[in-house]
Structure 1
Amino acid sequence: MKVLYVAIRGELSEGSGVLKKIIAQVDGLNNCGVNTKGMIFYTKDPDKISRQFHNNIIFHEIKYTHSFFQKTWYKNLILYNKIIQEIQKEEFDLLYFRYPKASSQLLRLVKQFPFKIIFEHQTKELDEIKQTQGNSNKEYWVEKYLAPYIFGYVKGFVAVTNEIKRYERKRYSYYNSRNKKESLVLGNGMDVEKLPLRKVPPYDKAKLELLFVGQIAPWHGVDRVIKGIASYKGSVNITFHIVGTGNELKNLINLSKKLELHDRVLFYEELSGEQLDKLFNKCHIAVAPLALYRKNLNESSALKTREYVARGIPFITSHNDPDIKMKSSIRNYILRVNDNNEPIDIEEIIQFTNRMYQIDGFENHFREFALRSIDMKIKMQRLKQFFEKCFIEEK
C-alpha cells in the first residue's frame, strides 16, 4: 500500500507540536511497513525547517508575489494542483489528509479521486470557526454546507476523540445516510523516546513554578490561571511560565499587565531543545487545556498534554482524554478542575503539588504510561490496520 499524507500549515517552527506529530506519523507509518510520503504546505519558515533533511517528506512553500494572489481561492488552487500532480505522478493508493476545512478545490480533489481519501479530524470545525471568527464569516457557511457534500466522496475518517467522531458522523451522513463511512477513534500520539525525561526539581513549599507550552488559543483557558494568580493571597511565591505564540497571546499579555503580574507571569517565544528542557526541569506543575467548553468540547487529545506525560510532569486539566483516562495508572498525578470561566483556585494547585512531591519516582510512572499508551509506534500500528481494512474493502 502506498500512502500520501497531506497537511496544510501556516508558519513552521521547530517547537511546533503539530509539526513534530506529522513527522512522527510519517516515520511511524514507514517503520511499520506502510509506504508513506508526507507533503507539508507552509507560508513561513523562520527556523529553516524545510531545508533540513526529513526522510519521505516534501515541503512546499506557498509564496505570494502580489496582493491579488493572496486570495484564499488562489492559494487553494496552487495547493490542490500540487497535490493532484503528486498523486498522479506516483499513483498513491490512499490519501490521508489532515482535514483542511471545506473549499471548492477540496471538492475538486475528492471528485477526481473518489473513495481514496481518509480525513483526520482534530476538532469540531464549525464550533471552532464560530469561536475564532463568528458564524457570519463566509468560511463558516462554506464549511457548514459544502463539507457534507465533500464527505460523500471519501472512504472514511479518523477522529482524535469519541466526541469528535460522533460530531463528524452526523456531518458525514448529512447527504449520505445510506453510505456509511469507515471511522476510527485514534488519539494523538508522540515519539516518546525523542523527548527527554525531565529532572524533577526540588519543591520547598515556598515557591511554585507553573508551565504552559503550546500554540495559545482561547479554549486553553490560560487566562483562568492568570486570574487565579491575581486572586491568590497566600504566602507561596507563584510564577507562571507561558511558552508559545498564537492569537490569544496578545490578550494574555494585556491581561497580565492589567492585573500587574509582570513579575509573576512570564512570556517566552517558542522554545525548543535545551532551552525548553531547562524550563521543564525548573517547573513543578504544567497546565493543560482548561476551557474546552469555549468551543463546545468535553474531550481533547491535546499534544501538549502528551508531552507533559512523556516528560514526566504532573498537570492540571479540565477535560476527558481518550488515552489519558482518569481511571488509568497516572490518575493520581493529574488534577481535574471544572471546565468553566472561573479563575483557577491556586490553593487547590498548591495542595495538589504538596501531595505530588511526596511521591518518589512519579516521573517514571508517567514515562512508562507514555510508552505503553501514547507512543507513535502503537498509534501508527492501529492506523495501519485501519488503512488495510479500508483498502481491502475497496478492492
Structure 2
Amino acid sequence: MRIIFLLYHGFSESSGISKKILCQIKALRELGHRVNVCTYDMNKNRHRVRMMDEEIIEDYGTGKWAAVRKRISYDGIYRYAVAQEVNMIYVRSFHNANPFTVRLFYRLQKAGIKIAMEIPTYPYDSEYKGFPFFTRCGLQIDRLFRKTLAKRVNGIVTFSDEKTIFGQRTVRISNGVDFDTVPLRKTINNNSSPTLHLIGVAEVHYWHGYDRLIHGLGEYYRQYHDKEIYFHIVGGVWKSEMYHSQHAPGFHELITHYHIEKQVIFHGQKMGKELDELFDLADFAIGSLARHRSHIDKIKTLKNREYAARGIPFIYSETDEDFDRMPYILKAPADESAIDITKIIRFCSTLDIPPKQIRNSIYHLSWKNQMEKVIKEL
C-alpha cells in the first residue's frame, strides 16, 4: 500500500513526539508499505515549505503572508497524493480543523484515498488552559469545524477507550514501543541501599503532576526517615510549572518551602547515553500523576510503555488497561493529594521482578502490532 504520513510540523531530535512518529513510520514500512512523510518546516533560505520526504511540494515564501498561506494552502499534498496514486493518508491531528483542512480531506476522499486521523490525546480542550490568546483562538476554530472534519476521515485513531470521537468511529490502539530504540536498563533494585532514586522523563506540563511528588517528598523529609530519596526530572519544565502554577504550588515554591533543594535534581533534556545512564541509576519511575486536571481518566500514554520497555517499575494515576494489573505498577489516587513516599519505598523494597521480565510483559505492544491494527480496521 502507498501511504502518506502527514504532519503539520517538522521533526526535532530531542522531541519525544518526533521519536514516536519515526517509530510509527518504521513500523508501517516493516509491514511492507511504501511510506512518504509530509512535513512543514523552514528551509535554509527562511522560506516556509511543505516537504514530501526531501522534496519541496509547496514553497510559501517568507513574511507574514507565507505564515498565513501555510495554514490555508494544502494543494501540494492533494496533487502529490493523486499523482502518486496514494492509497491512504495517516494524519496526526494538530487540532487545526478549519475550512481548508476540511476541503483537503474532502478532495482526498473524492479521489478514493482513505484517511486515518490520529488524535494523540482526547479530550484535549482542557490542555489549552494558560496558553497564549492566539493559540486559544486556534482551538476555538478547531471546535467549530472538527465534527465536519471528522466526517471526512475513515476512522479516528485513539489511545483512549472512546468508541466514537466527534461522531466518527474510532480505531482504538495502544501507544507502542520500538524495542530496537529503547535499551533495557542494566541495574536491578538494591533493596538494602540507603538511597532511592526516582526518575521522571517528560516535557513537564501540569497534567504530569510532578508537584504532587515534590509535595510528598517534602512531607517525607519533615518526618523521621532512614532512606535518602532523590527525584531526577529529565526534560524541559514549563515556567508555569516551576513558578506560580495555576493548579498547584510551583516546583520552586515547594522545594524552597521544604528545603529539599538537594533532593530534586533538574537535568534538562537528555538523550542517548546520558539518558541511559540516568535510567541505570534510577530505581523507580514517575508517570503522569494529574491527568484528572485535563479531565482525562483513561489513556494509554507513551511514557508508561517506554518505562516498561526499559524494565523499570513505575507509578501513575490514570486508568491504563495495559498496566493497571501489572505487579510492577503502583497506582496513585487521581486527586490532588501528596504522593506517599513511604508507599513507594515499601513497594520497591518488596518488588523482586528483574528488568527483562518487565520488558517481556509488553512485547505485544510493539508499534508494528499497533499500526497493523490501523491498517486492518480502516
TM (norm. structure 1) is 0.81
The answer to whether 1:159 aligns with 2:147 is: no
The 5 Å alignment of 1:1-395 reads: 1-9=1-9, 12-42=11-41, 57=53, 65-66=62-63, 68-69=64-65, 73-77=68-72, 80-101=74-95, 102-114=97-109, 116-133=114-131, 137-162=136-161, 165-166=162-163, 169-172=164-167, 181-201=168-188, 202-232=190-220, 233=223, 234-247=225-238, 250-251=242-243, 253-259=251-257, 260-324=259-323, 326-327=324-325, 331-356=326-351, 359=352, 361-371=353-363, 373-386=364-377, 390=378
Give the 3 Å change call, closer, same or farther, for CA 261–380 of structure 1 in structure 2: same
Indicate the structure with greater helix content: 1
- CA shift at 1:242, angstroms? 0.6
Give the 3 Å change call, closer, same or farther, for CA 381–140 of structure 1 in structure 2: closer
Distance in 2 (alpha carbons) for counterparts of 1:104 and 1:189: 32
Distance in 2 (alpha carbons) for counterparts of 1:59 and 1:24: 21
Is residue 315–residue 330 contact of structure 2 (8 Å, CA) maintained in 1? yes
What is the match of residue 247 of structure 2? none
- CA shift at 1:103, angstroms? 2.4
- CA shift at 1:59, angstroms? 8.7
- Cα deviation code 1:249-305 (max 9, x no counterpart): 544553355333321111122111110000000010000111111111111221111
What is the match of residue 51 of structure 1? none
- Cα deviation code 1:68-91 (max 9, x no counterpart): 3585x443136x344334324423
Is residue 18–residue 303 contact of structure 1 (8 Å, CA) maintained in 2? no
Secondary structure at the aligned position of 1:8 is classed as: coil
Distance in 1 (alpha carbons) for counterparts of 2:265 and 2:316: 20
- Cα deviation code 1:360-394 (max 9, x no counterpart): x42121111122x21122222222312xxx4xxxx
Is residue 3–residue 86 contact of structure 2 (8 Å, CA) maintained in 1? yes
Secondary structure at the aligned position of 1:192 is classed as: coil
Is residue 209–residue 240 contact of structure 1 (8 Å, CA) maintained in 2? yes
Which ranges in structure 1 are unaligned for 5 or more consecutive residues? 46-55, 173-180, 391-395
Query: Which deviates more from structure 2 when the two are superposed, residues 80-89 or residues 1-10?
Result: 80-89
Letter aligned with residue 204 of structure 1: S
Is residue 7–residue 41 contact of structure 1 (8 Å, CA) maintained in 2? yes
Secondary structure at the aligned position of 1:194 is classed as: coil
Runs ≥4 in structure 1, deviation > 4 angstroms? 42-45, 56-65
Is residue 124–residue 294 contact of structure 2 (8 Å, CA) maintained in 1? no
Identity of aligned residues (%): 26
Give the 3 Å change call, closer, same or farther, for CA 216–58 of structure 1 in structure 2: farther
Is residue 292–residue 318 contact of structure 2 (8 Å, CA) maintained in 1? no
Distance in 2 (alpha carbons) for counterparts of 1:308 and 1:86: 39
Give the 3 Å change call, closer, same or farther, for CA 8–142 of structure 1 in structure 2: same
Is residue 287–residue 317 contact of structure 1 (8 Å, CA) maintained in 2? yes
Is residue 245–residue 270 contact of structure 1 (8 Å, CA) maintained in 2? yes
TM (norm. structure 2) is 0.84
Letter aligned with residue 148 of structure 1: K
Give the 3 Å change call, closer, same or farther, for CA 336–240 of structure 1 in structure 2: same
Distance in 2 (alpha carbons) for counterparts of 1:123 and 1:238: 32
Is residue 43–residue 63 contact of structure 1 (8 Å, CA) maintained in 2? no
Which ranges in structure 2 are unaligned for 5 or more consecutive residues? 45-51, 244-249
Secondary structure at the aligned position of 1:263 is classed as: coil
- Cα deviation code 1:200-243 (max 9, x no counterpart): 25343421110001221111111111111111122321111011
Give the 3 Å change call, closer, same or farther, for CA 5–283 of structure 1 in structure 2: same
- CA shift at 1:149, angstroms? 1.2
Secondary structure at the aligned position of 2:266 is classed as: strand
Is residue 122–residue 160 contact of structure 2 (8 Å, CA) maintained in 1? no
Q: In angstroms, what is the RMSD of aligned CA positions?
A: 2.9
Aligned residues: 353
Secondary structure at the aligned position of 1:242 is classed as: strand
Distance in 2 (alpha carbons) for counterparts of 1:243 and 1:63: 37
What is the match of residue 48 of structure 2? none
Is residue 197–residue 231 contact of structure 2 (8 Å, CA) maintained in 1? yes
